[in-house]
Amino acid sequence: MKVEACDGAEREHIWAQIQRRLTELGCSHGEDQKGHYLPSLVIPATPSDGLIPASVKPVTEDLRPTSKDIFSRAYVNCEFRGRPLVCMLDTGCDRSVIERRFIKSRDLQPVRFSLMGAGRNSLKVDGETFIEFSIDGHPMEADVSVSSSMDELLLGCDFLTKHKGRWDFATGIVQLGDIEVQTRPKRAPGIACRRLVVAEKFTVPARH
């Protein structure tokens, strides 16, 4: 800051404040005032007793989206046999799964897949079945494994691939073929398993 020309009283007042501030900063103020550029100082143009204290407002809301806000929108409005069913879309799940209590014993088919959680822990599989349900009123169907380790319907990559799923994570809209559905956060306590990996038995012929 450079001291500009002003009337005598105002100049003396400003210079007194400069000297006081330089003293606080440990600087010498005995040099010639003319033409000297001083350290960057905030000096009011009005007497100190007329100053209005600056007002700093605290940040009361974080507008940045959190990972929880973004990734919790993975559920869709689903109905199974005339009743609402908690249904999650999961791109990290190889095989779609439904909880055992939703399936009658007579509808169970023999086990074809063994399921493992994200920690490579085996999950109990009671069988396989074919289900018909609806998402946002649109009829759907899926081949699923049945497990008592789940507490909902988990639709994985097999379902999304079959229905040519395209997921816009920014808007939360999932396109399944010719229809669009809106994902939402879960409105119930967290589930026990979030990811499944399929391990299917097979035989490698000799000399292969």
Q: Which of 189, 195, 192 is nearest to 118 (CA)?
A: 195
Residue 185 has pLDDT above 70, yes or no: yes
CB 177, CB 161: distance < 8 Å: no
Distance CA 69, CA 74 (A): 11
If you average pLDDT over residues 37-58, what whole number do you get? Answer: 48
**Position of tokens 């169907």?**
141
Residue 71 has pLDDT above 60, yes or no: no
Residue 11, SS3 per DSSP: helix
Q: Which pLDDT value is given to residue 103? A: 92
**Position of tokens 């509808």?**
107
- Kindly give, in sequence order, each residue whose CB lies less than 8 Å from that of residue 192, ignoring residues fewer than 6 positions away: 149, 150, 151
Which is higher by pLDDT, 29 or 121? 121
Two structure tokens written together for 155: 């639709």
If you average pLDDT over residues 44-57, what whole number do you get? Answer: 49
